[in-house]
């Protein structure tokens, strides 16, 4: 059984990723601090580890490295909203420690196991991570550093066969996004955001790439239809479609994604009832200019 470690597995995105991967047949080790959240994942079949990513020096002991590791999916993160004039050193220290140093150290510790399995490291970054966002400098600065970390890792590990993917999601319906939007004085309507289960299905799909290729960067936006639609359960729109077919991996990835999504609750199967094919790629993912260009979207 393929093995995967998910730091941040107790969060909105991480718990969807962990649940989807368990449903997809992976052996999942969930890492976080929230005992109740970890226990819920254990009930689904995950192994659990309590660890504080802000304490990088203690990670070696807290998260023992397995012999082989097929994937490490970094889903942990903090995102304090504070102007530079108000952000005390503790804000910068925690943000950089969790979002960058903890991720770097956990990756370093897992590299021997990842190399043995020709594994995959996925970093959940953020679409604002490459441009200035007033009152969010610690967060966007940490995500810029995370991107550089991922890009360097990709080049360094190319000879070892370890693949590295950065995912850049825009606003995803989690409690964290609700808090961030409130801090910016913005509305939060979860129905108009990316659903964590959708992002999780895309990550499952990334892991199922055939050996000849993989996705190095994936930019994910809520579809224009979601931005202007009523909640999915009330909608009469043509259902949204998801990326499931690329080259020779059509049947495999399509099947895995369907299986994972079918287990995600009542709204997601509806999203899948539309036609599925190569044209199902959202424009932003297939032809993404990369997150350095274009308008900021959270």
| Separation CA 276–CA 241 (nearest Å) | 6
Q: Which of 2, 3, 4, 14 binds ligand NAP (CB under 6 A)?
A: 14
Q: Which two tokens stand for residue 29?
A: 């080790």
Q: Which of 33, 68, 108, 258 binds ligand NAP (CB under 6 A)?
A: 33
Q: Which of 72, 75, 91, 197 binds ligand NAP (CB under 6 A)?
A: 75
Least distance to ligand NAP, CB of residue 242, Å? 18
Stretch that binds ligand NAP, among 26-34, 158-166, 209-217, 281-289 (CB under 6 A): 26-34
Q: Does 30 bind ligand NAP (CB under 6 A)?
A: no
Write out the binding residues for ligand NAP, residues 141-180 only, by CB under 6 A.
169, 171-172, 174-177
Nearer to ligand NAP (CB atom), residue 75 or residue 261: 75
Least distance to ligand NAP, CB of residue 43, Å? 16
Interface characters, 40-59, with ligand NAP (x: CB under 6 A): ------------xxx-----
Query: DSSP alpha helices (H): ranges in the chain?
Result: 12-23, 35-44, 59-62, 89-96, 102-116, 137-156, 175-183, 196-207, 224-228, 250-262, 268-271, 283-286
Nearer to ligand NAP (CB atom), residue 132 or residue 251: 132
Least distance to ligand NAP, CB of residue 168, Å? 7
- Side-chain half-sphere exposure of 294, counting CA atoms within 13 A: 16
The burial class, CB within 10 Å (0-12 / 13-18 / 19+), for 293 is exposed
User: In sequence order, which residues have a C-beta less than 8 Å from that of residue 2 and are 6 or more positions away?
Assistant: 25, 26, 27, 70, 71, 207
| Separation CA 75–CA 120 (nearest Å) | 14
| Phi, psi of 174, rounded to the nearest 5 degrees | -135, 165
Are residues 148 and 195 in contact, defined by beta-carbon separation less than 8 angstroms?
no
Stretch that binds ligand NAP, among 77-85, 150-158, 239-247, 261-269 (CB under 6 A): 77-85
Q: Does 222 bind ligand NAP (CB under 6 A)?
A: no
Least distance to ligand NAP, CB of residue 97, Å? 7
289 DSSP assignment: -
User: In sequence order, which residues have a C-beta less than 8 Å from that of residue 293 and are 6 or more positions away?
Assistant: none
Q: Which of 2, 4, 5, 11 binds ligand NAP (CB under 6 A)?
A: 11
| Separation CA 155–CA 15 (nearest Å) | 29
Are residues 11 and 191 in contact, defined by beta-carbon separation less than 8 angstroms?
no
Interface characters, 104-133, with ligand NAP (x: CB under 6 A): --------------------x-x-------
> Which spans of this chain sit near ligand NAP (rule: CB under 6 A)?
8, 10-14, 32-34, 37, 52-54, 75-79, 98, 124, 126, 169, 171-172, 174-177
């Amino acid at each position: 059984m393929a093995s995967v470690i998910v730091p941040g597995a107790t969060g909105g995105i991480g718990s969807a990723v962990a649940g989807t991967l368990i449903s997809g047949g992976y052996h999942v080790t969930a890492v976080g601090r929230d005992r109740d959240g970890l226990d819920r994942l254990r009930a689904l079949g995950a192994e659990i580890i309590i660890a504080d990513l802000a304490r990088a020096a203690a990670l070696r002991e807290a998260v023992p490295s397995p012999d082989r590791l097929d994937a490490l999916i970094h889903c942990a993160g903090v995102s304090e909203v504070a102007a530079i004039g108000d952000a005390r050193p503790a804000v910068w220290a925690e943000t950089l420690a969790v979002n960058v140093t903890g991720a770097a150290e956990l990756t370093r510790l897992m590299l021997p196991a990842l190399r043995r399995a020709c594994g995959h490291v996925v970093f959940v970054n953020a679409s604002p991570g490459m441009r200035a966002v007033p009152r969010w400098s610690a967060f966007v600065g940490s995500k810029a550093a995370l991107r550089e970390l991922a890009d360097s890792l990709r080049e360094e590990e190319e000879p070892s066969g370890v693949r590295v993917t950065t995912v850049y999601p825009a606003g995803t319906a989690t409690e964290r996004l609700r808090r961030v939007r409130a801090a910016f004085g913005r509305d939060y309507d979860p129905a108009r955001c990316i659903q964590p289960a959708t992002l999780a299905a895309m990550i499952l799909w990334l892991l199922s790439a055939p050996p000849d290729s993989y996705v190095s960067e994936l930019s994910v936006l809520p579809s224009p239809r979601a931005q202007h639609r009523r909640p999915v359960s009330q909608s009469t729109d043509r259902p949204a479609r998801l990326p499931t077919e690329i080259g020779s991996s059509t049947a495999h990835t399509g099947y895995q994604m369907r299986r994972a999504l079918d287990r995600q609750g009542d709204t997601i199967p509806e999203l899948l009832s539309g036609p599925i094919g190569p044209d199902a790629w959202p424009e932003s993912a297939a032809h993404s200019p990369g997150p350095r260009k274009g308008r900021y979207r959270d």
